[in-house]
Structure 1
Amino acid sequence: MQVSDKDGELLALLSENARMPVATIARRLGVSRTTVQARMERLERDGVIAGYALKLSESYLSGLVRAHVLITIAPKSLAAVSAELGAIREVTTLHSVSGTFDLIAIIAAPSISDLDRLIDRIGEIGGVERTLSSIILSTRISR
């Protein structure tokens, strides 16, 4: 995958606002709209751009209680545990990591009691040996 400096600038603009009009991107990059559209199509086709997603505002997220749940799993349980976690709507992100823990799940619930039940539910999944959770107080940087 070849990503030029101009492609990098394009990706930075899309990361800032994926709905930015092509004309605005073209103006900011100093290239034509056709060039921007062609670059975006190539980056999508090459798998550099995997998709476009909704980014929720901090004001909306502040109404939810969010937490990181560090999860230790039994040997050979990764696929099954990941599938179960993927079926839980409140699990917004799941990372496979190295170190003491095997997975980090980012979860969101409307209240502390809902969060508590959700953490218990995660702990009851077959193959989950241990969890450790930390409530997110605020987000300092989100890109």
Structure 2
Amino acid sequence: MQLDETDHALIAALSDNARTPVADLARKLGLARTTVQARLDRLERRGAIAGYTLRRGEALKPMLRATVLIAVAPHESPTVLTRLRAIPEVETVHTTSGRFDLLVTLTADSTAALDATLDRIGEAKGVRSSESLIHLSTKIDRSG
């Protein structure tokens, strides 16, 4: 899908605050409210906008974040993924190329909770090895 300059401006405005009323978006972009609503409907229909979400403020963000790189035994990926789905601290799981098979992002409210979560991951049937990277600070975040 090709986006024009107005679409990009609309998406940028929504990225700042997805709760901005359509009338305010229209005023900000210098467009009619019906035009903005039609563009939003088109962007949603074509998959450019998948939904509107809540971003946690500092008061609700977990204290710790970590990335776990996991090497999985042959043919054990479904078993490991089932285990990871059952761990609430696991936020995302990506498959990767290279010496690790999975890249897992997790959160915890304390080092003890992080340690327990890492133990649960390491004990999972099919996990051959893992390496943990604890996030210290965020320098760039373009995730919105």
TM-score category by the smaller chain? 0.7 to 0.9
| Aligned twin of 2:122 | 123
Between the aligned partners of 2:24 and 2:126, the Cα distance in structure 1 is 49
- Matched AA of 1:37: Q
Query: Structure 1 residues 83, 33: CA separation in 2 closer, same or farther (over 3 Å shift)?
Result: farther
Q: TM-score, normalised by structure 2?
A: 0.86
Query: Structure 1 residues 77, 27: CA separation in 2 closer, same or farther (over 3 Å shift)?
Result: farther
Percent identity among equivalent residues? 51
Between the aligned partners of 1:35 and 1:76, the Cα distance in structure 2 is 51
Query: Structure 1 residues 110, 14: CA separation in 2 closer, same or farther (over 3 Å shift)?
Result: same
Alignment of 1:125-140 (within 5 A): 125-140=124-139
Between the aligned partners of 1:87 and 1:38, the Cα distance in structure 2 is 40
Instruction: Judge which range, 80-89 or 33-42, deviates more.
Output: 80-89
1:27-68: CA deviation from partner (whole Å, max 9, x where unpaired): 22221111111111111111121122221123432x522111
Alignment of 1:1-143 (within 5 A): 1-61=1-61, 64-142=63-141, 143=144
Gaps of 5+ in 2: none
Instruction: Judge which range, 42-51 or 91-100, deviates more.
Output: 91-100
Between the aligned partners of 1:76 and 1:40, the Cα distance in structure 2 is 43
Between the aligned partners of 1:104 and 1:119, the Cα distance in structure 2 is 13
Aligned residues: 142
Between the aligned partners of 2:15 and 2:76, the Cα distance in structure 1 is 34
Query: Structure 1 residues 33, 82: CA separation in 2 closer, same or farther (over 3 Å shift)?
Result: farther
Give the SS at the match of 1:2: coil
Query: Structure 1 residues 76, 31: CA separation in 2 closer, same or farther (over 3 Å shift)?
Result: farther
How far did 1:112 drift? 0.5
- Please tell me the root mean square deviation across aligned C-alpha atoms, in Å: 1.8
How far did 1:2 drift? 2.9
Between the aligned partners of 1:117 and 1:33, the Cα distance in structure 2 is 51
